[in-house]
Amino acid sequence: MTKDRYKAICLDLDGTVYRGNEVIPETLDFIHDLQSRGIEPFYVTNNSSATPKQFQMKLLQLGIETGTDSIMTSAIAAAKYCKVHFDGASVMMIGEEGLQAALMAEGFKLTTESPDVVVVGIDRGITYEKLAEASLALRAGAEFIATNGDKAFPTEKGLVPGNGSFVKLLETTTDKVATYVGKPEPHLLHFIQQKGFRKEEIIMIGDNYGTDIQAGIRFGIDTAHVEGGVTSADVVKEQAQQPTYLFKNLSDWNRRYSL
């Protein structure tokens, strides 16, 4: 097997490409090797807060040059999902710049009153008023879309509430179940496939078995788990569904398979 077998190599970001503001050296070398072969990887993240341009600039600071069209966030996927299923709808949004930009790019009108759809992404400026307005809109019949179900995310101080925690609050309050778009659901990978790839040409690489690897398995593509992040190799080996490859880091790919 060689890297050239895959035309769409999808990399999780936090925990796979970088940890916080530090790039993972083996992944950096892996990406540079791909690019030297004319393969531009995709960067796939549940983080809905930032725009592709902002992710592009962060990657550039870490030594990775890429285009914004190679970045797929849960915000972009949620907006595309809404475009497919609720085109022309009015949308109430809980979220940050990344989600707002993605929804507006798909032509949605954002409103704070009587929306057709409520879309919930991470909002670090969340208030009781925002949650109350969303709750009332959902009870009035609005569709319920969540960018992702991550209950917590890591910071320098430790784990803090993620988007999934607020979505669960709204589900409890309204007795409505959200449609989740981010990993482990396969929607992000589906939208990448629509760029012109066959499933056998796509691989999902990540450190989180429950999101990254499960997204790939549910989508029916090859997967590679890398250690050093959310899920340990020992825990992965206990799972009923195994990734296609299990690597300590991405330098293993070069060592174990011919290039």
Q: Is residue 54 part of a domain?
A: no
Percent of the chain with pLDDT over 90: 83
Average pLDDT for the chain = 93
Q: Which residues of 217-248 are buried (b: 16+ CB within 10 A; e: fewer)?
A: bebebbbbbbebbbbeeeebeeeeeebebbbe
| 206-219 pLDDT tens trace | 999 999 999 999 99
- In this predicted structure, the answer to whether residue 228 has a pLDDT above a threshold of 90 is no
More reliable by pLDDT, 57 or 19: 57
Annotated binding site for substrate: 183
Q: Which domain holds residue 174?
A: 86-180
Whether 59 is covered by a domain: the verdict is: no
Residue 259 has pLDDT above 50, yes or no: no
Is the residue at 202 inside a domain? Answer: yes
Residue 120 confidence (pLDDT): 98
Confidence at 194, pLDDT banded by 50, 70, 90: very high
Total domains, the chain: 2
The pLDDT assigned to 15 comes to 87
Q: Output the pLDDT for position 3.
A: 56
CATH number of the domain at 101, please: 3.40.50.1000
> Where does the pLDDT of residue 156 fall: very low under 50, low under 70, confident under 90, or very high at 90 and above?
low
Co-location of 190 and 246 in the same domain: yes
* Model confidence band, residue 152 (pLDDT cutoffs 50, 70, 90): confident
Say if 252 falls within a structural domain.
Answer: yes
Domain's final residue, options 180, 202, 230: 180
Annotated binding-site residues read: 12, 14, 183, 207
Asked if pLDDT for residue 21 goes beyond 50, the answer is: yes
Same domain, 175 and 192: no
- Say if residue 169 is in the same domain as residue 192: no
d(CA 115, CA 91): 5
| Residue 12 falls in the annotated catalytic set | yes
Decide if pLDDT at 184 tops 90. yes
Considering Cα of 241, then 195, then 91, then 115, what sign does the dihedral take? negative
Catalytic residue, chosen from 14, 116, 212, 222, is 14
Asked which of 180, 203, 230 is the last residue of a domain, the reply is 180
Q: List the binding residues for Mg(2+).
A: 12, 14, 207
pLDDT number for residue 258: 47
Catalytic residue among 4, 12, 33, 69: 12
Q: Which of 164, 180, 196 is the last residue of a domain?
A: 180
pLDDT in tens, 69-89: 999 999 999 999 999 999 999
**11, 17 in Cβ contact below 8 A?**
yes
d(CA 230, CA 221): 21
